[in-house]
């Protein structure tokens, strides 16, 4: 096994990595944190890093016993995939007549700058209830409340998700800044907390690649600084517990 494979394979096993002493600040590579590395997936059907995928599978089985079908809409996402999402949204907003500032503001209501998505880590997942009929966009907050199709899923997750290590980063808390409320997005805390800790040691102005990114001239240091504080760290307190 070459060194590269060894790093990623070990990521899946978690615990204290062997190379932790050599890199005391970050047990993860910069590539891995930015969604540019290869991740060892749990299974094709569960696109999450091994430990997170295993925990998700357990949770899925428990939910199924109570009639809730946890279906993954999105799990691990690469830098390139996030870049394609960003550029598609930017072009669509531009066609609607939005200025570059309005455009970026609109995108970051729900989507991240490539290189800053929690989905890059293989620890975060967007889910719906697969037993319900799908009509139009599924990742809509209202659908998880009141008479929406995913209300039972939300209720089950509220009662059980934390037992399996899964937490909502983008809560409904009005004091939270950054991304809007996402009742479908869960993060596997036992892994994502340490990934975030490593992530905070990165200098985003140096590592973020804005080449080929729509609106990149407006992504200056001031923007990145606010985005870091409000969006990247604008998550539930439990997931910043390091």
Q: How many other C-beta atoms lie within 10 A of the C-beta of residue 15?
A: 8
Q: Which stretch binds Zn ion (CB under 5 A): 27-35, 167-175, 185-193, 215-223?
A: 185-193
Instruction: Closer to Zn ion by CB, 12 or 183: give it.
Output: 183
Give the total of residues touching Zn ion (CB under 5 A).
2
Instruction: Closer to Zn ion by CB, 176 or 185: give it.
Output: 185
Residue 89 C-beta: closest distance to Zn ion, Å: 14
Among 129, 17, 8, which residue's Cα sits nearest to residue 67?
129
Residue 92 C-beta: closest distance to Zn ion, Å: 19
Instruction: Closer to Zn ion by CB, 8 or 76: give it.
Output: 76
Q: Which stretch binds Zn ion (CB under 5 A): 49-57, 79-87, 122-130, 156-164?
A: 122-130
Residue 182 C-beta: closest distance to Zn ion, Å: 6
> CB nearest Zn ion: which residue?
185
Q: How many other C-beta atoms lie within 10 A of the C-beta of residue 170?
A: 24
Interface pick for Zn ion out of 31, 126, 152, 238 (rule CB under 5 A): 126
State yes or no: residue 185 binds Zn ion (CB under 5 A): yes
Q: Measured between alpha carbons, how far is 159 from 175 in angstroms, rounded to an integer?
A: 23
Residue 119 C-beta: closest distance to Zn ion, Å: 6
Q: Measured between alpha carbons, how far is 121 from 139 in angstroms, rounded to an integer?
A: 20
Residue 173 C-beta: closest distance to Zn ion, Å: 17
Instruction: Closer to Zn ion by CB, 27 or 183: give it.
Output: 183
Residues that bind Zn ion (CB under 5 A): 126, 185
């Amino acid at each position: 096994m070459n060194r590269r494979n060894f790093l990623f394979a070990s990521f899946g096993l978690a615990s204290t990595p062997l190379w932790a002493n050599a890199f005391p600040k970050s047990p993860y590579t910069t590539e891995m944190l930015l969604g540019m590395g290869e991740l060892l997936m749990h299974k094709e059907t569960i696109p999450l890093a091994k430990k997170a995928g295993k925990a998700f599978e357990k949770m899925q089985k428990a939910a199924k016993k109570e009639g809730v079908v946890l279906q993954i809409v999105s799990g691990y996402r690469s830098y390139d995939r996030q870049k394609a999402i960003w550029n598609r949204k930017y072009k669509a907003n531009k066609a609607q007549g939005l200025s570059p500032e309005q455009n970026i503001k609109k995108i970051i209501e729900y989507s991240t700058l490539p290189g800053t998505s929690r989905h890059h880590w293989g620890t975060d997942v967007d889910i719906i209830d697969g037993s319900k009929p799908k009509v139009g966009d599924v990742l809509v907050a209202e659908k998880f409340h009141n008479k929406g199709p995913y209300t039972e899923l939300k209720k089950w997750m509220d009662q059980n998700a934390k037992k399996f290590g899964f937490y909502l980063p983008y809560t409904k808390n009005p004091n939270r800044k950054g991304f809007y409320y996402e009742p479908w997005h869960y993060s596997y805390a036992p892994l994502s907390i340490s990934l975030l800790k490593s992530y905070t040691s990165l200098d985003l102005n140096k590592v973020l690649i804005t080449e080929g990114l729509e609106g990149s001239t407006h992504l200056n240091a001031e923007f990145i600084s606010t985005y870091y504080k409000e969006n990247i760290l604008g998550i539930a307190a439990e997931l910043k517990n390091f």
